[in-house]
A = this chain, B = another copy of it.
Amino acid sequence: MDGVLSDIYAQYIKYEQEDLGITQSIDKLAGKPENHAFVNIYQYIYSSGFFYSAEQIAGSIEAVQKLNNSYQVFIVSSATQFPLSLIEKINWLAKYFPFISWQQIVLCGSKEIVHGDIMIDDHLKNRDHFVGKTILFTQPHNMAMENGKYLRVNSRAEIENILL
């Protein structure tokens, strides 16, 4: 969800602007883990409204709508580390993705308990225990990684090309 559907980097940058008065550009953040890129990141993540007020990544709604018509889609999000995020994520999905039912939502800690045929994720760690096909969704923190070992996509259009 974060970094695939929800534009979490725009939130980090906006919160840091308000917090520290500095504005980092996306291209300077390539290859940096999120908690190195933003020094007060946990303060932002733990604050009320952080997840609910995030924007969708451009085209996410249309892409998920199309996938949802052809696949059994689950939205799986790491959330239990941040208890405030639980209701915000449910409400955020209801706002942008009302066609996703409660049956299709999973809020978890580790994603290693999840199985399926295809996982689209921005974090490599979530792929370690996944037996199906995995697709890495480009986000600044994973930009420095080699492409050789995994299928990388940079946009909703690329996902649609591969899966639809």
Contacts and interface: CB of A to CB of B under 8 A. Distances in A.
A79 B102 CA distance: 9
A91 B87 contact: no
12 contacts: A76-B113, A79-B107, A80-B103, A81-B102, A83-B90, A86-B87, A101-B109, A103-B109, A105-B109, A106-B106, A107-B108, A113-B116
Nearest to A90: B83
Contacts of A79: 107
Given A74-B113, A86-B87, 17 more contacts: A76-B113, A79-B107, A80-B103, A80-B105, A80-B106, A83-B87, A86-B90, A101-B109, A102-B109, A103-B110, A106-B109, A106-B113, A107-B107, A108-B108, A114-B114, A114-B115, A115-B115
Nearest to A83: B90
Contact of A87 (B81, B87, B114): B87
Number of copies: 2
A104 interface: yes
Interface residues of A, number: 25
Contacts of A101: 109
A11 B103 CA distance: 24
